Amino acid sequence: MSEANGQDFINEITTIGRIHHVNVVRLEGFCIQGSKWALVYDFMPNGSLDKFVFLDQGNNIPLNWERLYKIALGMASGIEYLHQGCDMKILHFDIKPHNILLNEDFTPKVSDFGLAKLHSTDESIVSLTAVRGTLGYIAPELFYKNIGGVSYKSTQVKYTFHHGFMIDMIKEGTWKWEMPPRMKRNL
């Protein structure tokens, strides 16, 4: 395992170990055995949200509006908890359908904290050396920003973008985002 992957693993354990919320996945334990590292979470029998979102990619499991509404509210509640409900603010940096897990009742759980950044509730600026997240899910204003410091307010904008973007994907059953030419040039 690379040093970067090892740091992601440690970040995930450190971050998720602090979190106790109905809309955030619960870490049950972890195991390190030689080069094999594993995180053990609650079992999520309905998998991740992406299999219900990307209906145009062969998935045929549509969700009714009541369930979609419950998922949208749960995602927002989980993200709000990470920002406001913990003793430390937790910036996830990779909210996407693949990282929203669904339990037996389709209660959404925010997961995958490998890119997360913890910071004090007193701090208004978080130091970053590079854009974090999955291309296509990064709020455009953060992608174009010259990285160095990210304000808490800009991360709220980012998560508003994520949440709105994901609600649109859930509603439409497809991913309609195309990378703008300017963004392609910046890669």
**What are the pLDDT digits (tens) for 141-187?**
555 554 444 444 544 445 555 556 666 666 665 555 554 454 444 44
* pLDDT number for residue 152: 46
The parent domain of residue 177 ranges over 3-185
In angstroms, what is the C-alpha Rg of the chain? 17
Is residue 112 among the annotated active site residues?
no
Which of 18-27, 81-90, 135-144 has the lowest average pLDDT?
A: 135-144
The mean per-residue pLDDT over the stretch 109-125 comes to: 71
Residue found under tokens 């950044």: 117
| More confident: 21 or 14 | 21
Indicate the SS3 state at residue 101: strand
CA distance 91 to 86: 11
* pLDDT number for residue 132: 59
Q: Any residues with CB less than 8 A from the CB of 143 and at least 6 apart, and which? A: 131, 183, 186
Task: Choose from 51-55, 68-72, 129-133, 170-174 the range with maximum mean pLDDT.
Answer: 68-72
Average pLDDT, the chain: 72
The mean per-residue pLDDT over the stretch 126-135 comes to: 56
The mean per-residue pLDDT over the stretch 105-128 comes to: 73
pTM of the model: 0.68
22: nearest Cα among 1, 46, 42, 4: 42
CA distance 160 to 174: 19
pLDDT grade, residue 100 (50/70/90)? very high
| Strand stretches in the chain, DSSP E | 27-33, 36-41, 88-91, 100-102, 108-110, 117-120, 125-127, 149-151
Which of 28-42, 67-81, 112-126, 165-179 has the lowest average pLDDT?
A: 165-179
| More confident: 23 or 154 | 23
CB atoms within 10 A of CB 89: 20
| CATH code of residue 65 | 1.10.510.10
Domain count, the chain: 1
| More confident: 141 or 6 | 6
Please name the amino acid found at residue 166: M
Give the active site residue among 50, 94, 105, 122: 94
Q: Which H or E element spans position 147?
A: none
For 5, the token pair is 């992957």
64: nearest Cα among 171, 159, 187: 171
Task: Choose from 52-56, 134-138, 173-177 the range with maximum mean pLDDT.
Answer: 52-56
Counting DSSP H helices and E strands in the chain, the numbers are 6, 8
Kindly report the length of the chain. Answer: 187
| More confident: 79 or 94 | 79
113: nearest Cα among 3, 21, 19: 19
For 168, the token pair is 């649109």
